[in-house]
Amino acid sequence: MAREARVSTAVVSYVMNDGPRPVAPATRERVLAAAAALGYQPNRIARALRARTTGVVGLILAEAPNPYFSALGRHIEQALSRREKLTLIGNAGFSADRQESLVDRFLAAQVDGLVIVSADGGTDVAAAAEAAGVPAVYVHHQPAAANTPFVAADNRASVEVAIAHLRQHGHDHIAFLAGPDDRGPVRQRTEAWQGIVGSTESRLLRCEYTRAAAARMTRDLIAGGAMPAALITATDEQAVGVLAGAWGTGLSIPEQLAVISLDGTPDSAHTAPSLTVTQQPLQAMAQQAVDSLLDAAAPGEPVRATLVTRRSCGCADTTY
């Protein structure tokens, strides 16, 4: 390549490695043109050894198959790619032990940083990264005692806007479907609902974060004549199950049951009927996380979700 560009091998090295010495623009163009003509590919392993960096960031997802975490992970990977970082993804499968194991394995692989999308907090696994001198950031949720930078959405604002919208449709008693226990961001959503509704006549329902569990719960409530007329679900997976359970028993949505979900994953636009959601700001969260990780930027205030109205609450569907 040096012969093709009519320069020394040192100058080629300066161009390919962006230093340590400057190269005149015309000379740089000649070297790059020669590299393109010869099909040159830089040796990333050798470059990593020289720079003591791998260019790889570990991303741990609480549950990779879950549409919410999948969409969030995709935005994080894209944000890292724009910074020329390769993403190594691990699925914790809602297991604290698995999450801890993934941190250990990623650190052994000498990743440049860790993005931990945690669901229930648990052990502060980022502490191991900090002890190893590897930057880390939590997304979605973090352990209570963690000092690691943390990026999240404004969960209370999501609940506020969902309740206000259902009240505009004339609903005074708005039930809330939470998880089997009060952990993670769902706890914040549940507490926000309780604080705003403040009525014993509005019911708190619980089931696992799966479509099947929510469908079973819905069928049982309908069979017992106990299905509320308006419902906010903590997650899209539960909302899809509610829609399926209602359809299977002939309950009409939104005429007999209005539903709003608090996730807003891409699939929510394609349910039957289409699902009204508070669409979580996943792209903004991802960008905040990457900026915090790579630039040591302090995460901003929690970002607010956007209400997307569709048929499940009683609005017209403008998706199509």
Distance separating alpha carbons of residues 318 and 320, to the nearest angstrom: 6
Q: Give a yes or no: residue 170 inside a domain.
A: yes
**Phi/psi class of residue 296: alpha, beta or left (left: φ > 0; alpha: ψ in -120 to 50)?**
left
Of 126, 151, 176, which residue is a domain's last?
A: 151
Q: What is the pLDDT along the chain (320 residues), one digit of tens a residue?
A: 667 777 777 777 777 666 667 778 888 888 778 777 777 766 554 555 455 578 999 999 999 999 999 999 999 999 999 999 999 999 999 898 999 999 999 999 999 999 999 876 678 999 999 999 999 999 998 888 888 999 999 999 999 999 999 999 999 999 999 999 877 888 899 999 999 987 666 799 999 999 999 999 999 999 999 999 999 999 999 999 999 999 999 999 999 999 999 999 998 999 999 999 999 999 999 999 999 999 988 887 888 999 999 999 999 876 65
Domain CATH number, residue 25: 1.10.260.40
Same domain (yes/no): 62, 143: yes
Query: How many domains, the chain?
Result: 3
194 falls within a domain: yes
The phi, psi pair for 176, rounded to 5°, reads: -130, 130
Which CATH number covers residue 183?
Answer: 3.40.50.2300
Give the residue numbers spanning the domain of 265: 155-280+306-313
Residue 285 within any structural domain of the chain: no
Claim to verify: residue 176 and residue 234 sit in the same structural domain: yes
- Structural domain contains residue 288: no
Looking at the fold, whether 173 and 266 belong to one and the same domain comes out as yes
